[in-house]
Amino acid sequence: MSIPATKTDRHYTYADYLKFPEDECWEIIDGVAYSMSPAPSSNHQDISGELLAQVHTQLRGKPCKVFAAPFDVRFEDSDKTDKVVQPDLLVVCDRSKITPRGLIGAPDWIVEILSAITAGKDQILKRALYEKRGVREYWLVHPIDRVVTIHRLGAEGRYGVADAALLQGRLPVSAVPGVEIDWDLWQPLEQDAL
């Protein structure tokens, strides 16, 4: 397994991000640039595709929109922002946040599908960022363990104690009423089955 590169030689911003080579995928969190390569596993992409299909179908005709990576999320509209992320999946219900260059502001719901290479960043750095910026619900899908960890923003603007659920049955998304994930529709790829 190769470790993705980080750029820590200086404080990076969205203006720098726009100059990165188009064939490379990066995120910037607090001025540190994190490479998003190598490409995700087939199991990761399979889960992402299943989630996208289910959510897209359930949101048809409703004001909320679903997007899958690569899709830039910035929390402020400035080339000087030092936070640009590409969640695996997100839903936004305030369409005024959607721009031709991605999203500006907090999505209502974000899903990250964990891999050995990105798990630490997703569980620590992104969790803190999403909490601070007001992402109402944050799911961490653990494909090997077949578990999802769910963080929900409380009234005090903090994530409380996380909930956990098995990747089976129906699981509603609290931040997006009327949307639920039917994990029984997702069948792990044969090479990944336990």
| Domain spanning 39-192: CATH 3.30.1600.10 | no
Q: Copy the structure tokens of residue 136.
A: 């109402």
Phi-psi region of 146 (alpha: psi -120 to 50; beta: other; left: phi over 0): left
| Closest listed residue to residue 182, CA positions, set 193, 191, 173 | 173
Residue with tokens 């910035």: 74
**Token pair listed for 85:** 């992320």
Cα 175 from Cα 125, distance rounded (Å): 21
pLDDT digits (tens, 9 = 90+) for 106-119: 999 999 999 888 88
Structural domain boundaries of the chain?
A: 39-192
The CA–CA distances, whole Å, from 147 to 9, 167, 186 equal: 36, 5, 13
Confidence (pLDDT) at 191: 52
Longest dimension (CA), the chain: 46
The proportion of the chain whose per-residue pLDDT surpasses 70, expressed as a percent, equals 95
pLDDT tens string 15-33: 999 999 988 889 999 999 9
Closest CA to 74 of 97, 51, 49: 97
40-57 confidence digits (pLDDT tens)? 888 889 999 999 999 999
**Whole-prediction pTM value?**
0.92
Rounded mean pLDDT, 58-70: 96
